[in-house]
Amino acid sequence: MGIVRSNAAFYLDAHARGVRFDRTLTLGRQRLYVSPAELADLACRHRPEARDRAAAMAFGDHADDFLKTFLDVATLDTLDHSTYEGATIAHDLNQPLPGSRHEQYDAVIDSGTLEHVFNVPVALASYMQLLKRGGSLFLSTPANNMCGHGFYQFSPELFFRVFSRANGFALTKMVLVTHPFPGAELSARQIAYDVSDPEELGARAPLMTSTPAFLMIEARRESIAPIFATPPLQSDYVTKWSGTRVPAARGGLRSIFKQLPLATQHFAIGWYQRAYQCTLRNRRRFRRRTD
């Protein structure tokens, strides 16, 4: 578990927008996987007064100093299954949190825990319950090409549906990040894309990538509501069940296409999916960030 350059920039952007990190809890004791040059650049952009302290932060060390210096964390707690890395709270995330832990934090940061927990709905509910009203959850987790890293890889749709008004949340931002090595901490070549909500598109947003990819999510707790009183449902199925249909494309080309041999149709559809529909070239679904 650790904070890579993309995570650090993501948190600093939120801090610059006024998100508070005064009382913060991290899931697992985070390590800092940001090179000295990257830290210096982040300091120049966001916290010029912290350049000297940033210079003393070493790649791979615990991230406590980064969180306190760059994000103004005043109180930092760590929750983990055990205290082997110095966690201040020992708790099995497969089990619900006691009520005494609810609504305690301005920010909760998970940069690599959720995929290792079997009981994901219970863990997510705990993350959400830890936050005060107005608090923010920051979650980073595998999306593609990281099979074997943990128990799971996640679809963006899951988080669009989880961080909903029904659960007292608003999803502030979701970014997909690709990187060329199995571990994001090994490469500075991280490319970020904004992700569209499939419900707004009226269609699924499948994705095939040639390199590993992970999601970064920022969600804000707007109200204190029961978590998962109604389980999230995949949006395209909700559309079908409601009787709403997205109109099928019509026209001469479609008619001609339907007259082709079935094997030819399947071959053409497969190549369209591979070359455009299910790739990062699909700008309706994924838009490359330039910041």
Q: In 139-274, where does DSSP find H-type helix?
A: 156-162, 198-201, 235-241, 252-258, 262-272
pLDDT of residue 258: 85
Residues 172 and 159 sit within 8 Å (Cβ to Cβ): no
Which of 28, 72, 76 lies closest to 53 in space, CA to CA? Answer: 72
Note the pLDDT tens digit of each residue in 115-163.
999 999 999 999 999 999 999 999 999 999 999 999 999 999 999 999 9
Q: In the chain, where does DSSP find H-type helix?
A: 5-16, 36-46, 51-55, 64-70, 120-130, 156-162, 198-201, 235-241, 252-258, 262-272
Mean pLDDT of all residues in the chain?
A: 93
pTM: 0.92
Q: What is the dihedral of CA 17, 154, 177, 145, to 10 degrees?
A: 170
Q: Rounded to whole angstroms, how far apart are CA atoms 51 and 171?
A: 32
Residue with tokens 């029961």: 226
pLDDT of residue 182: 82
Indicate the pLDDT class of residue 245, thresholds 50, 70 and 90: low
Indicate the pLDDT class of residue 249, thresholds 50, 70 and 90: low
Structure tokens at 216: 């970064």
pLDDT of residue 246: 56
pLDDT of residue 104: 97
Residues 288 and 191 sit within 8 Å (Cβ to Cβ): yes
Note the pLDDT tens digit of each residue in 17-53.
999 999 999 999 999 999 999 999 999 999 999 999 9
Q: Rounded to whole angstroms, how far apart are CA atoms 31 and 4?
A: 9
Indicate the pLDDT class of residue 242, thresholds 50, 70 and 90: confident
Strands (E), the chain: 2-4, 23-27, 31-33, 75-80, 89-90, 105-110, 131-144, 169-178, 191-195, 213-221, 286-288
Note the pLDDT tens digit of each residue in 48-60.
999 999 999 999 9
Note the pLDDT tens digit of each residue in 161-180.
999 999 999 999 999 999 99
Domains and CATH numbers, the chain: 2-237 (3.40.50.150)
